[in-house]
Structure 1
Amino acid sequence: MIRTTLLVGASALLLVACQQKDEVATAADPGASNAAVNAAQDATSAAVGATSAATLGQVSTEAFVTNAAISDLYEIQAGQIAQAKGQAAGVKAFGKMMVADHTALAAAMNPLVATAGVTPPTGLDERRKGLIDNLNAAAPADFDKVYLAQQTAAHDEALALMRGYSENGDNAALKDAAAKAAPKIQAHLTHVSELSAGSGR
């Protein structure tokens, strides 16, 4: 009950942040205002994702598959944007690695998902669409910071999802796949921390 309440509350905050974006765009300095609203929206998205990964995705195979698939789709799209818009060479290279690694993770998971009888989503949810919108809207000077902040939250969420399902899930093959994916995601998270500390170099 508490977990459901947290998830609903965090979702409501995300909706408020989305609604405020249009209102703030009419302010005297729409560029700066939108950047602040986008940052708040990304932070709220991180809270929603962390709650979801730590609850539903850990025990429900359908929720796990949905979250894992959308996570990979988001990482691939965000990585493509980072290759095009990233300012630092390290950010561009990380974006390229995300496309390759998350394409491989999805490919490895797909046969197991099919065997489990679950159909994964083929597109992003509204929350991840918002993150992609904010990446596309980021000014060149701000892009690397926005991307790396999103990546920290996204990999924290993915790591919680993989570790949680590997311990609590009800499908043995997917539990094993989640356990194998966790170290790769941890490595990504470590890399993001290093890039953030070095300003993306």
Structure 2
Amino acid sequence: MRKVRLATAGFALVVLAGCSSPFGMANLAKESSSLSAADRSFISQAAYGSLAEVELGELAQTQASSQQVREFGGRMVTEHTQMNKDLVALASNKGITPPSSPDPGRQEIGDMLEQLSGAEFDRQYVPQQLADHEATLGLFQIQSNRGQDVELRQFAQRYTPVIQRHVEMLRRMSTQAISSN
């Protein structure tokens, strides 16, 4: 028992000595506020996706032939803009600056869709959005269940139902498009 107490006391002294040095205190503060690699990745991926949804939603509002697709695009602009504002505020509080533009892959999709209009835009946009939202839903579900940072987990839990609604809307649009062909 005495050995355990001595070992514990020795460990506490080493920790306190490390904290008393200027470098030790800085490292302790840095470590306690740092996010895991998975949490940082979630911030980046969520921001990339949300930014792309806003840009593509704006395109859908002007280039889609279907009123339903145009309305969906408007919803993407509104809901993903709010999601992104919330994510930026949360990330900033944690000392992280999320991306401010879509990733190159999504940018390429946007460039391709920008060249389309009318029914062809609708045919390309809806399945692309469905695939992207299904992937985003998986990302948010994982973060909701396994994220290490409590606030990021809560953010994911708050927005998972929103993304789920988007997926359901896209599935209905996709089914309607198939049945009308």
TM exceeds 0.5?
yes
Residue 138 (structure 1) aligns with: 116
Matched, 1:192 2:176: no
Task: Could you list the structure 1 runs, at least 4 aligned residues long, displaced by more than 6 angstroms after superposition.
Answer: none
The equivalent of 1:61 in structure 2 is 39
The structure showing larger relative contact order (alpha-carbon pairs under 8 Å, at least 6 residues apart) is: 1
Which stretch has the larger CA shift, 190-199 or 88-97? 190-199
Classify the secondary structure of the residue corresponding to 2:173.
helix
CA distance in 2, matches of 1:112, 1:141: 39
**How far does residue 59 in structure 1 lie from its aligned partner after superposition?**
6.3
Note the C-alpha offset of 1:140: 3.1
| CA shift for structure 1 position 197 | 1.4
SS in 1 for 2:177: coil
Partner of 1:167: 145
Q: What does residue 100 of structure 2 align with?
A: 122
For each residue in 1:35-94, what CA deviation from the matched residue of structure 2 results, as whole angstroms up to 9, or x when unmatched? Answer: xxxxxxxxxxxxxxxxxxxxxxx9611111100011111000000000010001000000
Is 1:79 aligned to residue 57 of structure 2?
A: yes
Quote the offset at 1:110 in angstroms.
Answer: 2.1
Question: Could you tell me how far apart the structure 2 residues matched to 1:179 and 1:171 are?
Answer: 12
Number of residue pairs the alignment of both structures matches: 144
Structure 1, unaligned runs of 5 or more: 1-57
Contact 1:152 1:193 in 2 (8 A): yes
Q: CA deviation at 1:199?
A: 2.1
- Aligned counterparts of 2:102 and 2:70: Cα–Cα separation in 1: 22
Structure 2 alignment gaps of length 5 or more: 1-35
Give the alignment's Cα RMSD to 1 decimal: 1.8
Q: Share of identical aligned residues, percent?
A: 30
Corresponding position: 1:156 with 2:134: yes
Q: 1-side partners of 2:139 and 2:37: how far apart?
A: 10
Aligned to 1:42: none
Q: Tell me the SS of whatever aligns to 1:145.
A: helix
Are 1:116 and 1:171, in contact at CA under 8 Å, matched by a contact in 2? Answer: no
Query: 1:151-198 CA deviation, whole Å, 9 max, x = no partner?
Result: 101101110111111111111101011011101000000001111112
Give the 3 Å change call, closer, same or farther, for CA 74–67 of structure 1 in structure 2: same
